[in-house]
A and B are shown apart, each in its own frame.
Chain A
């Protein structure tokens, strides 16, 4: 089956749902079937939040799955919570600025990247979510930096379009992050 799913998780305020919306838009622009499903409820800034994106060549079978092909964890709580959900052979992209580099499973692939520190290099701590999408595009090949950039154009409201250039930098920074120390299992 050609279906793949991605869980993006972190603190409320890290742009988790927005990152998911950008990814889902990119997959739509790639003419794939896609769904986006958020955790919803009494979420708040500083609490935990996550969303799941499923993409398929055929109709999406289920929008909220028991396991995942890819996980982006932007904080420790999300890393701990979702790691058991990762399929064997799957990839976790973890924000090593906030997540301890402990590899408790040997059947999965880890990509630890200091995403918050990278965002600070760009002078905008809030852009860590978009950097993580660049990393995802690189290791998952689900979509491209170009599609993600076009997706941002879809998602950003008019009064935020001035941030497109910075977002493109963030996508490229993630995509070009050196994978040299990362060995696939």
Chain B
């Protein structure tokens, strides 16, 4: 297959189209505006729905509406604007709708600025909506993974009828790399038994989250959590690199993994026994994998482009079996390979 030089933003947008996205609803914000720009042209050419919404709150609720009819629908946004969508994400989780949200992280808190950052790990994995709910979160590390994981986002959203976030960052969104646009590889999931497709020749149905009866609300939440258990059992994905005999395992997510891998290669050449574990699904988190590696390695070092967010999940997983340290920078200059090597040597020493 011929390769094409593509930005992360365009890779995500084209992959969404290939995945059969019926409707895009969004509001521009750097560093992901090119997704909406691309969609504004291509979706109309394909006679699919494109709406430039009046706000992010409107956009996510349009996606909620579209998905409740069984359409494949998505929005994309960034940090401070994803913050505005939190209320709706809780409703979407409660309504069990297959919403895809592409969240391209910029620097916060507050309005922050457009520099790349990984400061929204907590926002994506924990979230700011009310109640007990979970969102599937996938974190690409390369432009090729922007394609592959956009496909997977649509598939998992449909398979589990659960909101799914593709969590990228400004660096990945803006950079270009040669990629291959393979076809959407997943089966189509039927929507006839739940979607609001018109009640002709069947009983009417409704999608709602209000549940005044206590026992039925308990049952609904239990149903949700049985589903989350299945997701946790079946959908964990991670990349393991040079972890054999590693005394130190560096763990990271997203685009910084490129720098970490290079640092590990150079440390291995120096004779240091170092490896990498990169969660690809941030929820479900590869807890069991960490526990397994904690039996053989001596330490973990979590590296993030934030002040320490995923490190809490790593510590919960490792549960005190071995030390877990953190190295990161908030925003601005990306952590260099040299910085990472120095930290590995310091921590390993």
Q: Interface residues, chain A, CB within 8 Å of chain B?
A: 21, 24-25, 28, 33-38, 40-41, 59-66, 154
Contacts and interface: CB of A to CB of B under 8 A. Distances in A.
A59 B258 contact: yes
Nearest to B7: A36
Contacts, number: 61
Contact of B175 (A63, A66, A154): A63
B202 interface: no
A62 B177 contact: no
Contacts of A60: 177, 258
Contacts of B30: 40-41
Interface string B315-349: 00000000000000000011011100000000000
B261 interface: yes
Contacts of A59: 258, 261-262
B41 interface: no
B256 to A, nearest CB: 9
Contact of B31 (A24, A28, A40, A63): A40
A35 B259 contact: no
B218 interface: no
Nearest to A64: B334
A21 B337 CA distance: 24
A4 to B, nearest CB: 14
A63 B116 CA distance: 13
- Interface hub of B114, B176, B178 (most chain A Cβ within 10 A): B176
A64 B5 contact: no
B181 to A, nearest CB: 14
Interface residues of B, number: 22
B123 interface: no
B147 to A, nearest CB: 16
A36 B175 contact: yes
A62 B337 CA distance: 7
Nearest to B259: A62
Taking chain B's interface residues, is the majority helix, strand, or loop, or is none over half, making it mixed?
mixed
8 contacts: A21-B176, A36-B176, A38-B175, A59-B261, A61-B262, A61-B265, A62-B336, A63-B258
B174 interface: yes
A33 B262 CA distance: 14
Contacts of B171: 37, 63-64
Given A24-B176, A40-B31, A61-B259, 6 more contacts: A24-B5, A40-B114, A62-B336, A63-B334, A64-B171, A154-B5
A37 B175 contact: yes
Given A36-B175, A37-B175, A41-B30, A28 B170 contact: no
B10 to A, nearest CB: 12
Nearest to B113: A41
A66 B174 CA distance: 19
Contacts of B295: none
B5 A40 contact: no
B270 interface: no
Interface in B113-141: 114
Contacts of B170: 40
A64 B329 CA distance: 15
A18 B188 CA distance: 39
A24 B174 CA distance: 14
B200 interface: no
B138 to A, nearest CB: 21
Interface string B170-191: 1100111110000000000000
Contact of A35 (B177, B265, B337): B177
A38 B170 CA distance: 11
Given A61-B337, A62-B336, A66-B338, A40 B174 contact: yes
